[in-house]
Chain A
């Protein structure tokens, strides 16, 4: 756009200079021609009733000697040719004024001036007409020179304006680039005001950007607060019910009452687990929309997650063992990756049989890191293995085990967001194997 308008202005400049130069050259030539014609006319005298013309040398020499042009003239009296070049074209000149015309003569471009005056002679009024002409070679040369100069001026202007425009664009765009960089490098939860230095012209942009950040921050923290508050409101009464139920269970003697209380506790567990998974699912969707990319030391994350699960696995006499964890770094959101690993391990602890072992392995192949979680439990039912990743879908062997049907869906979402995938399979011997593959 800038380039185009600079070129336009340069062309306009060239055309203007060119036409002004042509006009000025034309005018000065016309003046010389007129002066020459009038000097011839002035030399005409009425002597004893006859017109005598003493053709002054200077009147023609001023046309040809100075500029190397060829000069022509024609003198006519009452339309009768007297002297000069008889076939020089005629032009009609108005009364007592000089007329000019560009035409061709003897194959050359000429500029012609014509003027006339009336004389009183013995035979009455006589009209003396003088035409002078000059070739245009020199003029054309000088016009060509001028046009070369004006072309150079136009081109020079174009170059200069390009350089100026580039310098201006650079100085304007550099802070804009800095601003863009500092905004796009941010993590999804970084909503601090922009502090990159910008020129005063861009201050309003930064101000409105910052006020957007503030509003976003407010609305985010409001919804986070809302989720926290909602969780608090729901979970606290559930906690009271569950605790009181446990206390009651210790006191109740009758078996059918004990069974009822047990069912109560199971129902509370089920609903609180579902509520938790739903909130987790919302959190995962929110975080995968704008995925953080941090370097994660995957083997250390696995060890942390396994350690945290130890008390729960011990309760079931299930042992979680890590085996050959290869030192591995991946890029991703550590909170999400941990959530995925934890969900898979939770499942393994829940569905495997007591007094068995869960093995977690980590290796690399073909630019992919594989986390394998193997248990010695019942394994997956081959016919439903594909459906287990769907929302609220639970396996047939889930009977009697508290769950929400969201765990593997969450894992699947997290894996896709990281460009990886989850594979469910059965071991050759017995038990299930869940593989999480992350691109390295």
Chain B
């Protein structure tokens, strides 16, 4: 996905860009509103991440102009303010969602997905691999023409695999990608979800194989 990040703190922006590119997203960074307008005039973005306090104006004025320009690109506001009244005001101005800093990236991912899913007529986000078709927005997996609805954790786990087929993922890494840091989860949970995905994939030429001592990988026979 292609993001536009509007954030004046360079260190935070760098960290966010690096974190998002780990999930193979493309991120453009604007440090102020003027630069942000230049970017939106020349490129199409899937999603805009907007900070509220900016050196040359309030992020809220960006929201208002963005909405009056009838742009369809969804905006998620990243705010440092935590007061509920602020958050309500942000949504009234036309933000699609908001998150309070520090950003939990798995939550950001979930919110992006929810926002994009809400957008009617959004472009299909399908990936074909072997005999299967995967739609991450609709959370569906088509195996030999039959459609399976994936649950959230199954979806997120499968996303990790299909974005890098044939790559070996250790269990502990999958655990970090799948569970938020505030709950204790054991590596057994990964085995459970891998088991479920294997069941969905059965009957196709795509499978998740165990690499002894290293982890799992997705491959096509």
Contact = CB atoms under 8 A, between A and B. Distances in A.
Interface string B83-107: 1111010000000010011111111
Contact of B102 (A243, A258, A354): A243
A280 B82 contact: yes
B181 A266 contact: yes
Given A243-B16, A314-B110, A338-B84, A236 B172 contact: no
Interface in B178-208: 180-184
Which size class do B's interface residues fall under?
Answer: 35 or more
Nearest to B23: A250
Interface string A228-252: 1001101110111111101101100
Interface residues of A, number: 48
A289 B194 CA distance: 53
Given A242-B103, A243-B102, A258-B172, A235 B80 contact: yes
Contact of A236 (B12, B88, B182, B184): B12
Interface in A393-413: 400-402
Given A272-B102, A276-B100, A400-B184, A262 B176 contact: yes
A243 B99 CA distance: 14
Contacts of A317: 151-153
B149 interface: no
B183 A401 contact: yes
Contact of A312 (B9, B53, B102, B110): B110
Given A240-B9, A243-B16, A249-B176, A269 B82 contact: no
Contacts of B184: 400
Contacts of B81: 227-228, 231-232
A142 to B, nearest CB: 82
Interface in A161-175: none
Nearest to A255: B172
A321 interface: no
| Main DSSP-derived SS at the A contact region | helix
A310 B182 contact: no
A401 B172 contact: no
Contact of B181 (A239, A262, A308): A262
Nearest to B177: A250
Contact of A335 (B85, B106, B172, B182): B85
B22 A250 contact: yes
16 contacts: A231-B82, A236-B101, A243-B102, A246-B105, A250-B22, A258-B172, A269-B102, A269-B181, A272-B100, A279-B83, A283-B83, A283-B84, A308-B97, A314-B114, A314-B152, A400-B184
Interface of A: 227-228, 231-232, 234-236, 238-244, 246-247, 249-250, 255, 258, 262, 265-266, 268-269, 272, 275-276, 279-280, 283, 308, 310-312, 314-317, 335, 338-339, 342, 350, 354, 400-402
Given A232-B80, A235-B102, A239-B102, 12 more contacts: A228-B80, A236-B9, A242-B104, A243-B18, A247-B19, A262-B176, A269-B104, A283-B84, A310-B114, A315-B152, A400-B182, A402-B182
